Amino acid sequence: MTEDRSVLDREASPPDVVLSYGSDPDQVADVRFAEGSPPERPVVVLLHGGFWRPQFDRLHLRATTGALAAAGWPSAAPEYRRVPGSPDLMVDDVLTAIRAVGGVPEFSGRRIVLAGHSAGGHLALLAAAVLEPASAAAGVVALAPVADLGLAEALGLGGGAVAAFLGGAAAERPDLDPVRLPTPRGAVRIVHGTADEIVPIEVAESYVRAHPAAGLVRVDGGHFAVIDPASGAWSSVLDALARVG
């Protein structure tokens, strides 16, 4: 199967606001308010993927967040500094961005659901496990996540992406490996394509074995189907958001 990457370059409207949460140019987040969204609906903080590498950024998620807004889900898609071998920099940015989204006046009173695709799914699961209770997410929806760094390293995913991200072996940083961290406080749903050739579904299955309370939703399609509003998997993504939110 050839992975369908068309969603990455699909034309999409700009966000409503670009939120700055720090002084670096990469410390920003695309915000969509989803006018008319029910006040009880959480904000989706959606973290982009790209195997933690600097050439991939949040812009490829604009079609996804546009579709979320159309479905009544307000969102924020943070950028974060992607410096190979400096994983703590990335994690600190993600945690800071999540806290900043919670302080947006238009989102006052709304809970947060963390979501992320691929490497962003790893970061969402990690953040949910380590955030202090005051900033804890209502739930997590991880989309084709790199949820087990040790297994991803053993499989050689992304041409050695795990070692490049960490600057060393996965075994040296269990504090950054979701499969080895405590189960997040909120509900966890993983949506993963059964034909994913970039992050095989066995990586998600490993996470669920370690955290049996997490749910795994298997969908038809490859790695990008779970962020593509035109795919058959999209309804499962919206259902997962509703279930954890």
Residue 64's DSSP bridge partners are none
d(CA 244, CA 178): 18
Q: What would the mean pLDDT of 59-65 be, rounded to a whole number?
A: 97
d(CA 205, CA 234): 20
Q: For 145-168, how does the pLDDT look when each residue is reduced to its tens digit (9 = 90+)?
A: 999 999 999 999 999 999 999 999
What does the pLDDT read at residue 66?
Answer: 97
d(CA 6, CA 183): 34
Q: CB-based contacts of 230: which residues, under 8 Å, 6+ apart?
A: 7
Domain range spanning residue 157?
6-244
Q: What would the mean pLDDT of 110-116 be, rounded to a whole number?
A: 96
pLDDT band at 107 (very low <50, low <70, confident <90, very high): very high
Which CATH number do you get for residue 195? Answer: 3.40.50.1820
Is 136's pLDDT higher than 80?
no
User: Does 34 fall in a domain?
Assistant: yes
d(CA 206, CA 222): 18
Report percent pLDDT > 90 for the chain. Answer: 93
Q: What would the mean pLDDT of 7-13 be, rounded to a whole number?
A: 94
User: Does 1 fall in a domain?
Assistant: no
Q: How many domains does the chain have?
A: 1
Is 135's pLDDT higher than 80?
no
Contacts 24+ apart (CB under 8 A), 199-205: 199/118, 199/144, 199/145, 199/146, 199/152, 199/157, 199/223, 200/155, 202/151, 203/145, 203/146, 203/147, 203/148, 203/151, 203/152, 203/155, 203/157, 204/142, 204/144, 204/145, 204/147
Q: CB-based contacts of 38: which residues, under 8 Å, 6+ apart?
A: 72
Q: CB-based contacts of 25: which residues, under 8 Å, 6+ apart?
A: none
Write out the two tokens for 29. Answer: 């987040």
